[in-house]
Amino acid sequence: MFGCLVAGRLVQGEPQQVDETHFIFNLVDTDNIGHVVIFMLGTVPFPDGLGGAVYFGWPTTSGLSWQYLGHISNDKPSAIFKICKAKPETSAVGGFGANLMSGPMTEAQIGISVENMNEISQRTPAVNTQASKVESFREFSQKMLESFFNYASSFAITQGQMVPQPNATFIPTDVIQKWFENFQRKLSQDLYFWRS
């Protein structure tokens, strides 16, 4: 029903089934994993109203410490999660916990818990675990624009400082400033306007 993919490794297509609603993928050499993809194989859909809450379990001296990453569902059959910064200090509240596995563990695990989608949709993923965030994309775009504007402006000279250069093209900095402001305005209205 589920698959797990870590970049540079073979796909894991058969999780260990703990019980009727809980599945586990073991992850080795976790310090060298940045992202993990969890996906449905397409062979068995979730029953209506149910989805898969995805958890990351980090080994501690007393067992695994679980952290909620996000979910998959019939409408969202795959998701990418960032786990390089997901070494939890405290256990998550939800469908995975110490009652499933106990004792010292040496491997990290990805757990999938089949749960009610209404409950799953109310949860917030752990900080720094989402692979793609709208705000981080917006922040990148803003920083890139500022960098370009600052770089281009560093070459600005006044008309009195200009030396005739027949093969050079000059662009007034106010044109770049106007473009910069227009791009920022469009980005704030629609993050993906540049696709059209």
pTM (predicted TM-score): 0.59
Question: Does residue 42 register a pLDDT over 80?
Answer: yes
Question: pLDDT value at position 86?
Answer: 55
Question: pLDDT value at position 103?
Answer: 42
List the Cα angle 124/129/135 in 5-degree steps.
80
- Mean predicted lDDT score pLDDT of the chain: 80
User: pLDDT per residue over 158-177, tens digit each?
Assistant: 888 888 888 888 788 888 88
d(CA 103, CA 90): 16
User: pLDDT per residue over 56-97, tens digit each?
Assistant: 988 877 777 888 999 999 999 998 888 865 555 444 545 555
User: pLDDT per residue over 117-155, tens digit each?
Assistant: 999 988 888 765 654 545 566 677 777 888 888 888 888
Could you give the 3-state DSSP secondary structure of residue 40? strand
Q: Which one, of 67, 19, 65, 50, lies nearest residue 119 by Cα? A: 50
- For the chain, what percent of residues have pLDDT higher than 90? 26
- Higher per-residue confidence, 166 vs 18: 18
Question: Does residue 110 register a pLDDT over 70?
Answer: yes
Pinpoint the alpha helices (H) of the chain. 117-120, 134-153, 173-189
Question: Does residue 101 register a pLDDT over 70?
Answer: no
d(CA 173, CA 158): 10
**Boundaries of every domain in the chain:** 2-120, 134-195
Question: pLDDT value at position 94?
Answer: 54
